[in-house]
């Protein structure tokens, strides 16, 4: 499974591609950051994020895109920019028919470190270890993007089985239980 992880942001949008399957060593295929100037017009910044994500999709051809789920922050301006960058990444994937999964920061931390309250240094250290890298990816947005991809590789099979089980056992109002 090849996954593009996206840590959305307007100034720095982390991107990272990981390939692998649960229970086997993972391989990093690429990591980086799409940057936009803070003083640029919002429309131009979003366009730059789109162009950057499109380049990553062209180059790495992922099967899935994992995006950090935007959560409420005290700074509305920051959360708006993050949400806008997130929407751009999801749009790029949807345009190509690539499935998108959203993962919360605590889900990603728990998947990669074992604790949903891990700090950025712990996430970076585990990403480095899991991908057998010489040093943690910099900046932290890049490491977070790789963590998102790893989280999706490890969680997707279980999530798919759960969704299939729920679908088999849902109640059809006109016919009763479907399974």
Q: Is 68 a catalytic residue?
A: yes
pLDDT in tens, 25-63: 999 999 999 999 999 999 999 999 999 999 999 999 999
Q: How far apart are CA 150 and CA 35, in angstroms?
A: 23
Exactly one of 7, 63, 107, 144 is catalytic; name it.
7
Exactly one of 59, 63, 68, 144 is catalytic; name it.
68
pLDDT in tens, 72-85: 667 787 889 999 99
Exactly one of 19, 39, 63, 141 is catalytic; name it.
141
The listed CATH number (3.30.420.10, 3.40.50.620, 3.40.1000.10, 1.10.3720.10) that belongs to domain 2-177 = 3.30.420.10
Please give the torsion angle defined by the CA atoms of residues 154, 58, 88 and 35, in that order, rounded to the nearest 10 degrees.
Answer: 100
For residue 74, the 8-state DSSP code is S
131 φ, ψ to 5°? -95, 5
Q: Where are the domains of the chain?
A: 2-177
Report whether 37 contacts 29 (CB < 8 A).
no
> At 169, is the pLDDT very low, low, confident or very high (cuts 50, 70, 90)?
confident
Q: Is 141 a catalytic residue?
A: yes
pLDDT at 119: 95
Burial of 123 from C-beta contacts in 10 A (0-12 / 13-18 / 19+): buried
pLDDT at 174: 60
Average pLDDT of the residues in 149-164: 79
| CA dihedral over 98, 1, 55, 76, signed as positive or negative | positive
Predicted confidence (pLDDT) at residue 160 exceeds the cutoff of 80? no
Average pLDDT of the residues in 144-160: 88
Closest by Cα among 112, 108, 104 to 130? 112
pLDDT at 172: 58
9 φ, ψ to 5°? -175, 150
Higher pLDDT, 162 or 80: 80
pLDDT in tens, 86-135: 999 999 999 999 999 999 999 999 999 999 999 999 999 999 999 999 99
Average pLDDT of the residues in 163-169: 71
> At 139, is the pLDDT very low, low, confident or very high (cuts 50, 70, 90)?
very high
């Amino acid at each position: 499974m090849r996954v593009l992880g996206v840590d959305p942001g307007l100034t720095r949008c982390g991107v990272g591609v990981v390939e692998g399957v649960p229970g086997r060593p993972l391989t990093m295929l690429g990591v980086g950051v799409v940057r936009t100037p803070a003083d640029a017009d919002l429309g131009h910044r979003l366009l730059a994020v789109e162009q950057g994500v499109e380049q990553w999709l062209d180059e790495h051809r992922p099967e899935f895109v994992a995006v950090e789920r935007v959560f409420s922050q005290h700074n509305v301006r920051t959360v708006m920019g993050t949400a806008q960058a997130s929407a751009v990444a999801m749009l790029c994937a949807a345009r190509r028919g690539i499935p998108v999964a959203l993962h919360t920061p605590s889900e990603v931390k728990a998947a990669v470190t074992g604790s949903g309250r891990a700090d950025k240094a712990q996430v970076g250290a585990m990403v480095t270890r899991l991908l057998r890298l010489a040093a943690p990816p910099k900046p932290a947005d890049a490491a977070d993007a790789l963590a998102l991809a790893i989280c999706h590789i490890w969680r997707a099979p279980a999530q798919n089985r759960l969704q299939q089980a729920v679908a088999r056992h849902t109640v059809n109002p006109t016919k009763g239980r479907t399974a």
